[in-house]
Structure 1
Amino acid sequence: MGNSLNSMVFHPPKPTYSREDPHLHMLPTKCGHSIAAFYVRHRRSRFTILYSHGNAEDIGNVFHALMDRVANWDADLFIYDYSGYGVSEGKPSERNLYMDVEAAYDYLTQVLGVNPHSIVAYGRSIGSGPAVHIALHRPVLALILQSPVASVYRVRFHRLPFSIPGDIFRNIDKVQNLKVPTLILHGTEDETVPLAASQQMALKISEVYCRWIKGASHNDMDGKYVMYVEQALHEFFARITQQHPDALIKRGVWISREKHSTIYRNAAQAITT
């Protein structure tokens, strides 16, 4: 069952980069194989983004898409490939992805000397699984979840009232244990992972900021709707770095000035606007 589920869940594309890339890092994992990573530093960086990408992509195409945006965040970027993705060795599985993100975190902190409390874990889509995992098992500054899955089975069966044995990436059963500020970004027209997944998880997180982006689907938040994603990120980054965001604070609700969507601190009020 495990192998058949893995073959249905994981879709590594043909690698978009090679081992000869001069900027490539190869990291050892507890599985005994190596995974690939890119690390970019910014001279005015305030924190480091540990990025877990979505399915059917690798760090080659994601890295180039994020480069300009990361410069605007004043952040360093560490992005790694899962086992079996890109030029990473091994095969993808839930267990291996958890060990992959641990390897990335340990390389950042132990080899590159990055302060653990300056790391922001960022997971998109299936990458929300390893991002939640590392936020629960290692010190981080904050967590960002973009179009996250509640669990893999719930992607298909949206209204499951409880978890089913054999399900993987059961974020919905874990997020109540998060102790760090968490931003959730989700499109209202997501055809792959329903918005309800994020709404349900938001209600379980003690310190959560949500932005439901009107009209956005699963794969266009970093394209057509990127300006709204960027605004949400800038406000969240300002908040976690104790700066003064261009937002209104009123009765525990963080309301963005942008009318297109709203960020809420109170999970019960995490509704589309």
Structure 2
Amino acid sequence: MGGITSSIAAKFAFFPPSPPSYTVIADDSCGGRLCIPEVPRRDNVDVLKLRTRKGNEIVAIHIKHPKSTATLLYSHGNAADLGQMFELFVELSLRLRINLMGYDYSGYGQSTGKTTECNTYADVDAVYKCLKEQYGVKDEQLIVYGQSVGSGPTIDLASRVPNLRGVVLHSPILSGLRVLYPVKRTYWFDIYKNIDKMGMVNCPVLVMHGTADEVVDCSHGKQLWELCKEKYEPLWLSGGGHCNLELYPEFIRHLKKFVLSLSKSKAATNGSKETTVVSESQPKPSESGTSDSFEPCPKPSESGTSDGSELRPDAPEVSRNSLDSRLEKSKKSNKPEKSRMSTDHVDRFRRRKGLVW
């Protein structure tokens, strides 16, 4: 089983959208600054190309919020690129009042090279280095966010950086092999061994997972949460699937509470650690899926980092509906609409292959 599984994982683990949903050009009218012409420009967005230690050049975007005191480093899921994620990134920055850095893995979008587990680790390291050196982000200001396969580079980075502000795991995987088989031990050929690294993460961790996830079973998220040193109240979204959690009002509310709690706990108990961090206005780790009304705008809080220059807006054609409109629809019925339309055909293909994370 080992040889077969490793070859299957190597062949089918990554699904970069083909063709990419965006392009990157240098705009002569702005002194040659990079932009993504598929969407209107925004003055608070930078488009960057970063060189990784593996020699690849990856594309990243930095979104600046004027009132932020923290930065979110977002590692997206499979079968998506910056073009499909851009709108969500902009709205998360707005709602959470944070600076946000998103990037494409090697081989995704307009990033060069081949997508491999090792390359994704080099990719996230290059983005982390850029945040520290170019934007002046301190570890205590940084929240790292991993969605699905993005939980791999996210947990790897968090296991090596001890003073991060927090970690968010969105539909995470225990490991690549465990998505396919209910194995009880870790094999050398497995990829993204999150189950073995989780215990090395020292900051508060929020886990969010849909109870009806047909791609990565909710048990992955629950087991990772049990392994956390500093547990924040998890969010088990009743009926939530793999690619639609952001459609639920609870998603943004719970995420916002987490970001706010990190800011408050840092201000109040500077450096003190607790076994479990409990959110203020939510009782117990319950399976939610109900529809509280979505707060129109997050309260001025913490989020972001002090960045030097004002950056430019450039972003890819958005293939996702706006978060607001999608949340409005979800408030009418607790079941979310089908998400990420541009990747539906890929999801169907991957489901037949049995590797859909």
Residue 53 (str. 1) matches residue 40 (str. 2): no
Q: Give how far 1:221 is off.
A: 0.5
- Equivalent position to 2:241, from 214, 217, 222: 217
Q: For residues 154-192 of structure 1, what are the alpha-carbon distances to aligned partners after superposition, in whole Å with 9 as ceiling and x for unaligned?
A: 1111x3211122110010111011100000000010000
Q: Which structure ranks higher in relative contact order (CA pairs < 8 Å, sequence separation ≥ 6)?
A: 2
Q: Hey, what does 1:39 align to over in structure 2?
A: 62
- Equivalent position to 2:52, from 21, 25, 29: 29
Q: Hey, what does 1:111 align to over in structure 2?
A: 134
Q: What is the correspondence of 1:162-181 to structure 2 with a 5 Å cutoff?
A: 162-181=185-204
Q: For residues 97-137 of structure 1, what are the alpha-carbon distances to aligned partners after superposition, in whole Å with 9 as ceiling and x for unaligned?
A: 00100000001101222222201000000000011011112
Q: Contact 1:211/1:263 (CA < 8 Å) preserved in 2?
A: no
Residue 11 (str. 1) matches residue 15 (str. 2): yes
- Equivalent position to 2:178, from 146, 154, 157: 154
Q: Give how far 1:213 is off.
A: 0.8
Q: Contact 2:93/2:99 (CA < 8 Å) preserved in 1?
A: yes
Q: Hey, what does 1:184 align to over in structure 2?
A: 207
Higher CA-based Rg: 2
Residue 80 (str. 1) matches residue 70 (str. 2): no
Task: Provide TM-score, normalisation by structure 1.
Answer: 0.87
| Counterpart secondary structure, 1:228 | helix
| Counterpart secondary structure, 1:27 | strand
| Counterpart secondary structure, 2:240 | coil
Q: Give how far 1:230 is off.
A: 0.8
Q: Contact 2:257/2:279 (CA < 8 Å) preserved in 1?
A: no
| Counterpart secondary structure, 1:241 | helix
Q: Give how far 1:146 is off.
A: 0.2
d(CA) in 2 for partners of 1:114 and 1:35? 20
Q: For residues 28-68 of structure 1, what are the alpha-carbon distances to aligned partners after superposition, in whole Å with 9 as ceiling and x for unaligned?
A: 10011210000010000120000000000001110112212
Question: Superposition RMSD on alpha carbons, in Å?
Answer: 2.1
Q: Hey, what does 2:259 align to over in structure 1?
A: 237
Task: Provide TM-score, normalisation by structure 2.
Answer: 0.67
Amino acid across the alignment from 1:254: V
Q: Give how far 1:257 is off.
A: 4.9
Is the strand fraction higher in 1 or 2? 1
d(CA) in 1 for partners of 2:7 and 2:59? 23
**Residues 196/92 of structure 1: CA separation in 2 closer, same or farther (3 Å cut):** same
Q: Hey, what does 2:154 align to over in structure 1?
A: 131
Amino acid across the alignment from 1:237: V
Q: Give how far 1:69 is off.
A: 2.6
Q: Contact 1:129/1:169 (CA < 8 Å) preserved in 2?
A: yes
Amino acid across the alignment from 2:14: F
Residue 208 (str. 1) matches residue 213 (str. 2): no
d(CA) in 1 for partners of 2:101 and 2:277? 31
The number of residue pairs the alignment matches comes to 255
| Counterpart secondary structure, 1:174 | helix
Q: Contact 1:153/1:168 (CA < 8 Å) preserved in 2?
A: yes
Q: What runs of 5+ residues in structure 1 fail to find an aligned partner?
A: 245-251, 265-270
Percentage identity across aligned positions?
A: 32
